[in-house]
Amino acid sequence: MNIENITRRSTYLMIVLALLGNIPGTPEIYGMFLYPFRLLYPPYIALLILFILNKKEVEITKTTVLFFAFICYIPASLIWSINPQNTLINSLSLLATASLSIGIWITSKNREIIHRYLLLITGIGIIALGLAGYEMITGHNLSVSRFHGRKPQALLGYYATAWFYNINKFTFFMLLSVIYPTSLALTSWLSIRERILYLAPLGIGVFIFINLSSRAILLSTIIIIGYIIAVGRDRVPNGIRQFRTNRIVTTIFGLATIGLLVVFSLIPNPASKGSSIYIRWELQSTATSYVLSNPIGVGYRNTESILLSLARVTKDIGAPHSLYGRIILDFGLVGLLLAVTLFGVLISQSSKYAIARNNPVETTTAAWMVALPVSSLAPANPIVQPTLWVGIGLVLAVIQLNCSS
């Protein structure tokens, strides 16, 4: 077995371990010590380095340069951090998770390998759906969820989170896992029976999303379905297929971010006081106001202490609940500009290839990327989620594949 196969199979294993988190059934507080992914991280990084050194050439694009610039900016925030020790420890942990993106990117030499990665994620998602269904039927929670003890709400059990310790982490991952079969069902020429089979994970997932009242994920699901239908089966006119949308999409993405700065700094909170939307608006507004007066930010993973000390009415919630809030407060305006450029390019490039290729692999990664600004509103801290970095790795792999073909 050569180094390439070893690295790829190790990446399969690391994806599974990262998505499983710490040992199921153990309290989350012990996750730092009972997290097999972190235990295997050092040899995995060594393997990635060995693979890169043995590979004759690793194609570097503008997109990957932006990706590595953003990755390097995270530990660089140690320079201006208000708590350097906290930033250092958490930066190392985040870089471990971000290595998944690099592993997927450098081992995906053809579309078949990306297809296998997508099948792996879908398979993990189907297992999670099965466990969540068991929890909903029996009322027995498998993950010792931090929501345990609350009065059940919605349709059935309230604790359907499989092995995840948090509803929002669970739904954020489930969204990624159901996109590929949905894309296959809506863009491939299949029989009615096959189409129903491929759409089953989406149907079950939507039912669970509704049961868990995950509004951001439900909205993201609508965006994804609409996107897949719009770009599938040669529905896009040739004129649009040949049109270079990269700069326009990136510009629009940047203008939208500037709009968020204006909205959260000037417009009063429109939601009813005490509601979930009201609290999240306050978190973003507080982050924006702080950074406009302190443009360099506070250093990675110091957002919580600032939000808890400055936020007006957030029920002691310090997590930003958005990529925007995390990035702008931790990394300041420069970090926000870098992140907006990176995510804007990822969205525009992946969409360009989804429209041009009309292939379920390209369509899946582009649909997830397009919905990310909305779906990232679900987790309290999306930037630390393995789901985010696995998704970014898939997008990088698709972009590299199409750039070299």
Asked if the model's pLDDT at residue 393 lies above 70, the reply is yes
Say what the pLDDT of residue 155 is. Answer: 36
175 — pLDDT class (breaks 50, 70, 90): very high
Cβ 351 vs Cβ 228: under 8 Å: no
Regarding predicted confidence, which is higher, 273 or 19? 19
**Domain membership flag for residue 112:** yes
Say what the pLDDT of residue 72 is. Answer: 93
Say what the pLDDT of residue 153 is. Answer: 42
CA–CA separation, 162 vs 128, rounded Å?
5
The least confident of 133-142, 163-172, 190-199, 325-334 is 133-142
**Domain membership flag for residue 55:** yes
Separation in Å, CA 48 to CA 63, 104, 233:
20, 10, 37
Domains contained in the chain, number: 1
Tokens representing residue 293 in the block: 């007066």
User: What is the extent of the structural domain holding 74?
Assistant: 3-122+239-251+321-404
162 — pLDDT class (breaks 50, 70, 90): confident
Cβ-based burial of 361 (10 A; exposed 0-12, middle 13-18, buried ≥19): buried
3-state helix, strand, coil in the chain (%, to 5): 70, 0, 30
Asked if the model's pLDDT at residue 284 lies above 90, the reply is no
124-128 mean pLDDT: 93
Q: Kindly report, residue by residue over 252-270, the tens digit of the pLDDT.
A: 766 777 777 777 777 787 7
Tokens representing residue 53 in the block: 């050194």
Separation in Å, CA 129 to CA 212, 247, 349:
13, 39, 31
The least confident of 57-66, 152-161, 361-370 is 152-161
Tokens representing residue 75 in the block: 């530990």
Q: What is the mean pLDDT of the chain?
A: 82
CA–CA separation, 139 vs 159, rounded Å?
7
CA–CA separation, 277 vs 285, rounded Å?
12
The total of other beta-carbon atoms located within 10 Å of residue 45's CB is 15
Rounded CA Rg of the chain: 21
Asked if the model's pLDDT at residue 69 lies above 90, the reply is yes
Separation in Å, CA 379 to CA 1, 41, 43, 337, 367:
39, 24, 29, 22, 19
Measuring CA to CA, which residue among 251, 181, 169, 179 is closest to residue 216? 169
**Domain membership flag for residue 89:** yes
Say what the pLDDT of residue 56 is. Answer: 63
Say what the pLDDT of residue 366 is. Answer: 93
pTM for the whole structure? 0.88
Q: Kindly report, residue by residue over 227-247, the tens digit of the pLDDT.
A: 898 886 665 555 555 555 556
Q: Kindly report, residue by residue over 29-39, the tens digit of the pLDDT.
A: 454 445 677 77
Q: Where are the alpha helices (DSSP H) in 21-110?
A: 36-54, 62-76, 84-107
Say what the pLDDT of residue 154 is. Answer: 37
Of 150-159, 286-295, 305-314, highest mean pLDDT: 286-295
AA letter at 350: S
Question: Tokens 């079950």 map to which residue?
Answer: 204
Q: Kindly report, residue by residue over 328-344, the tens digit of the pLDDT.
A: 889 999 998 899 889 98
Category of 385 on φ-ψ map: left (φ > 0), alpha (ψ -120 to 50) or beta: beta
AA letter at 124: I
Say what the pLDDT of residue 220 is. Answer: 92
